[in-house]
Amino acid sequence: ALYNLCKISKVRQEQAAQAGIVVSLQRLIKSNGPLRQLAIPLICDLAHAGDACRKALWVNDGLSFYLELLSVKYWDHTALNCVAVWLSSASDKRPFEQVLMRDESVKILLSTIADADPATASKLLAPLIPILECPRLNELLGKSDLVSELLKRLLSLDHQAVDRKNILRCVQLLYEKSREPKTFITTHNLMEVLTTVVDNDESVLVREHGNELLQAMLVNTVI
């Protein structure tokens, strides 16, 4: 009944959040009982529902809970989108970065991307972009295995053009926010990788984006 009341009403979602529904939903999800499949979409909806809901989530460590949901099959992309939406709505992103930069958070995020099949990865790439807008988290992830994983997928024939374009955007963000852009370029052999994309990718949009990024890197390597 609560699921039906809240599913299509943000007002009811806020009322439920203020009444303490977050803790109850977390308990149901952790119990792995039959109501879990109703509790997960409900708690994910709260990230989209407004400040009152997000405040209730924050008080109950909701950000870490969404990261835990990344390990739940079929809900990983939904949970990552919750993180991205919540992060984008925050005026002060520093508290969020502190949670996302914990060792266990980074490990979960990296394993989620690495273990995803092409269809799942396609749904993870778009929410990854606003997450990479966070400077300190970006710097940390730029020194992780995320970059090599993204580049491997960029050159893979398993991914659609829109996915490859999102990958290029992620790589661009990691490069632009790097404190040592020249080292970033050489460490990941980006000139060669991007040249391959520009010369061989079947999508015009991907080739154009790849060329723009390649030209920017050429300027940086010359200076």
Average pLDDT over the chain reads: 92
Dist. CA 154–CA 161, nearest whole Å:
9
Dist. CA 147–CA 154, nearest whole Å:
10
Q: Is the pLDDT of residue 28 over 60?
A: yes
pLDDT, tens digit (0-9, with 9 covering 90-100), for 110-128 = 999 999 999 999 999 999 9
Tokens linked to 67: 């990261």
Confidence (pTM): 0.91
Dist. CA 38–CA 56, nearest whole Å:
19
Per-residue pLDDT, 140: 96
Asked if 132 contacts 91 with a C-beta cutoff of 8 angstroms, the reply is no
Per-residue pLDDT, 109: 96
pLDDT, tens digit (0-9, with 9 covering 90-100), for 3-18 = 766 776 778 888 888 8
Dist. CA 67–CA 99, nearest whole Å:
10
Dist. CA 118–CA 122, nearest whole Å:
6
